Chains A and B, each alone.
Chain A
Amino acid sequence: MLIKTENLWKVYEIGNEKVQVQALRGVDLEVKKGEYLAIMGPSGSGKSTLMNLIGCLDTPTQGEYYLNSRLVSQMNDDELAYIRNKEIGFVFQTFNLLPRATALHNVELPLIYNGTESKERLEKARKALKMVDLEDRVTHKPNELSGGERQRVAIARAIVNNPSLILADEPTGNLDTVTGADIMKLFDRLHTDGNTVIIVTHESDIAKYADRVVHIRDGMIEKDERLK
């Protein structure tokens, strides 16, 4: 089991009066290695919060989260950073590339933070960019790339460290329909290659690409359906 969460709760305190917002209210989720999963829900459903927890960007207020049999829900900031680097590959709606760095430098960023040597870094980065069909764009900066190309760079960065999990948050949100479809085909390919992919989205058209859809509403899992 790659991901196992038990009774995951996340409560925020907002404002001076410390108003309590219950973003997640007891989520139990299991994801096997190699699965292709979509987490779907409307705005405010808690799907972003769940994604942040799964991606180890945050820790739950209550409950446990095992990633690759490691209890990550109690880890400190530095340990979480390590896990993010090794196990998680993020893809964001707004691409989130370093604007003044080349595609190559953007992709090698995770490798820099785990101490990989320069030569090896460049090799791996080039390989990742090749895998997303961008080998002839390595020296371009983000503002010299189209939306679809930028997302490809982001995906290359996500896979460069061979993570256990690819986590994408509305990956086609800033792309037109055609480019969006191309990107989803790319995710298909990554899945076929053996990667575990989780897409967080509010669009059912995008969720349809996955094998399984987990519907979330008001901080709880409503429905867990197998599509294929």
Chain B
Amino acid sequence: MQFLESVGMALRSLISNKLRSILTLIGVIIGVMTVIAVVSIIAGMNRYVADQINALGSSTFFVNKFGITMSEEDYLKALKRKDFALQDMEAIKERCPLCWKVGARAVAFKKVKYREKYVSDIAIAGATANITEISDINLSSGRYPSEFENEHNRRVVLIGWEIADNLFPNQDPLDKDIKIGGHYFRIVGVAKKRGTFIGQSQDNFVLIPITTFNKLFGTKRFMSIFVKVENFDSMQEAQDQVRLVLRARRNVPYDKPDDFAIMTSDTFMDLYRTFTSTAFLVMIGVSSIALVVGGIVIMNIMLVSVTERTREIGIRKAVGAKKKNILWQFLVEAVTLALVGGLIGIILGGIIAKVVAAFTPLPASIEAWSVITGVIIATSVGLFFGIFPAMKAAKLDPIACLRYE
């Protein structure tokens, strides 16, 4: 009986004093809301990024001279290292038995023009034909540049969806000639639309054979070699083989570290995680402060409530309420109060997450566990901060209470 009775009384009490209830709950609402909103956004991003990174496959790794540089100093140091060349790729193909598919790619940024129309700052990707092994680029029409064309430095290109949309709005781009960085190329394929990744369009690229790329656009600075293994289990060993080959080729002394980097999808995930963990920690900090403040507010309001209802406590005791009845009543009120705040916080947090997802590039995914966590947090705050006022109420002397004005 007691429980439902108390919950009912608590809710009645809350409703009869709406303004005070809302002011009381602001702290808890903000605390829970922050948790839900941030967790939803991070979860959405996690899912999205994981999808993207996993599209690479867990059987693929990259090698380039930069790795992931976190400061300008590191970047400049890496810049000075020896560039990679296609010969390195060949060497790996030869001497790394576990490396099933080996290819290379590089990127530069140039203007792409058709007749009078042009688009600037397009990513010009040069790659070996087997880029298809690791790429998630799907064809809308036509084909990829072939191995043959790669071997013969042919000027053929696969264009991204947005290039097609911008330069060929009403016609079929296939077999047309466009100018890339001042050189003519024939379009052999159009890619399907890929959409955006954190606000960046993924359809603003062109793909040409890497040999052509190296010939025309020179710099091998940003060339990466990619390796796909047949079996996920051989990833580590394959990386070791590659490392051996490259260290030898680049004359790295046995006691010095690699002057290049091998990156797997894990590398990227770890990097991504360090960014989000900061956001996560900030969120925990903010919501903890809000929750503690909110809890103290609830405690104070409950203390006021106890004082206001001194007479009532006296009446209840006079008709037979025991200490634990009174304790329970006020504790349930505190928890109910906190839970209502928690629920409002959950709803608001969800709304914020949805709004952020709708109006910014960030995605959001409302996770069940975060809602449950929100409920648990709210309940705990209610219990922890409600116990003191409840005990105070329970200990009151009935005679003194009944005399209270």
Contacts and interface: CB of A to CB of B under 8 A. Distances in A.
Interface stretch (B76-84, B176-184, B319-327): B319-327
A98 B320 contact: no
Interface of B is mostly: helix
B403 to A, nearest CB: 9
A81 B320 contact: yes
A110 B320 contact: yes
B368 interface: no
B305 to A, nearest CB: 12
Contacts of B399: 52, 57-58
Contacts of A77: 322-323
Interface in A103-129: 109-110, 112-115, 117-118
Contacts of A113: 316, 319-322, 325
A97 B316 CA distance: 10
B315 A98 contact: yes
18 contacts: A55-B318, A57-B399, A58-B399, A78-B324, A81-B322, A82-B320, A84-B319, A85-B319, A90-B319, A96-B311, A96-B315, A97-B315, A100-B16, A109-B315, A109-B319, A110-B319, A110-B320, A115-B1
Given A96-B311, A112-B1, A118-B1, A57 B318 contact: yes
B322 A96 contact: no
A97 to B, nearest CB: 8
Interface in A46-66: 52, 55, 57-58
A78 B402 CA distance: 18
A86 interface: yes
A96 B13 CA distance: 18
A176 B336 CA distance: 42
Nearest to A121: B1
A85 B311 contact: no
A52 B399 CA distance: 8
Interface in B320-355: 320-325
Contacts of A157: 319
Nearest 7 CB-CB pairings of A with B: A85-B320, A113-B320, A110-B319, A81-B322, A78-B322, A96-B315, A113-B321
A50 to B, nearest CB: 13
Interface of B: 1, 5, 12-13, 16, 311-312, 314-325, 398-399, 402
Q: With a 10 A CB-CB cut-off, give which of B12, B314, B398, B399 has the most chain A CB atoms.
A: B398
Q: With a 10 A CB-CB cut-off, give which of A81, A96, A118 has the most chain B CB atoms.
A: A81
Interface string A82-93: 101110001010
B16 A84 contact: no
Contacts of A85: 319-320
Interface residues of A, number: 27
Given A92-B402, A109-B319, A100 B12 contact: yes
Interface of A: 52, 55, 57-58, 77-78, 81-82, 84-86, 90, 92, 96-100, 109-110, 112-115, 117-118, 157
Contacts of B322: 77-78, 81-82, 113
A81 B317 contact: yes
Contacts of B311: 96
Nearest to B321: A113
Contacts of A109: 315-316, 319
Nearest to B5: A112
Contacts of B324: 78
A121 B13 CA distance: 22
A96 B5 CA distance: 20
Nearest to A97: B315
Nearest to A158: B319
A209 to B, nearest CB: 23
Nearest to B398: A57
A52 B398 CA distance: 10
Given A57-B399, A84-B317, 16 more contacts: A78-B324, A82-B320, A84-B319, A85-B319, A96-B318, A96-B402, A100-B12, A109-B319, A110-B319, A112-B1, A112-B5, A113-B316, A113-B321, A113-B325, A117-B1, A157-B319
Contacts of B312: 98-99
Contacts of A118: 1
A81 B313 CA distance: 13
B11 to A, nearest CB: 12
Contacts of A57: 318, 398-399
Contacts of B315: 96-98, 109
Contacts of A82: 320, 322
Nearest to A113: B320
A44 B32 CA distance: 56
A129 to B, nearest CB: 16
A78 B324 CA distance: 9
A92 B318 CA distance: 11
A212 B271 CA distance: 91
Contacts of A115: 1
A172 to B, nearest CB: 18
Nearest to A84: B320
A110 B316 CA distance: 8
B12 to A, nearest CB: 7
Contacts of B319: 84-85, 90, 109-110, 113, 157
